[in-house]
Structure 1
C-alpha cells in the first residue's frame, strides 16, 4: 500500500494500520504534543541478538532528511539510514489479553531472534 508523503509524492516507506495510528495519536495527545507538527519516529538501531532492533519515539518535528508520511492523521518520520532496513514495513498495534503494543512487520528480514525483538536483513 502506498501512502501520501507530506510533500504529495507517493511513498512506500512504512504503512501504518488504523489501530496503530489511533493509539499513537492518543499517546501524542496525552503528552500535549501538537499532532499537526509532531509525529512518531520509527528507526533502526544496533542491538539485540540478531544485530538490529526497532526503536520508536515521539518527536516534535522531523529532521531535515527524514521521509515524512501521514497515515490516518499520524505523521511518521523515518531517517534515510533506517529507511534502508524498514522500507515497505507495516506498523501495527495489538491489544490482547497477554500483551499490548506496537509491532513491525518487515518484509526485508532474513532472520529474527527467538523473542522477535531483533532482526537481520
Structure 2
C-alpha cells in the first residue's frame, strides 16, 4: 500500500493537477509522508516543494480517502487521503513538477486511477465540471 496525501484545489469547476517530469499522466499535488510527519505537515511540505506556495495550516479540511491501483506499480494499491486548504503565493511548477494544469471532468482519461475516483466523486457532487 502506498499512502499519499493530496491537495484538492478547485476553482471555476476545474481542479489543479500536476504532471511530473518524464510522466504522461497527471496527479493531484501532494505526496508521501516523511517518518513522523502528520498529514498536515506532509501537505504543507509537499505543496511547498511542488508548487512553491504556502498552505495555511489553519484552513486544512479533510475531503475524503480514496483507494485504487497505483499507476505504474502492478499489484500495489494507493490510498490517497485528500484535503482542501487555502494558500498564499503564486502557483509555480517546482522540484519534479514539469507542468501545472487546471483539469475538468472531460480530462479524466489523462489522470491516474485513484485520481479518476476523485474526479468521479467531485463531478457527482457538482464540484468538477
- Give the TM-score taking structure 2 as reference length: 0.29
The structure where strand makes up a greater share of residues is 1
The structure where helix makes up a greater share of residues is 2
- Give the TM-score taking structure 1 as reference length: 0.30
Q: Which has the higher contact order (CA 8 A, sep 6+)?
A: 2
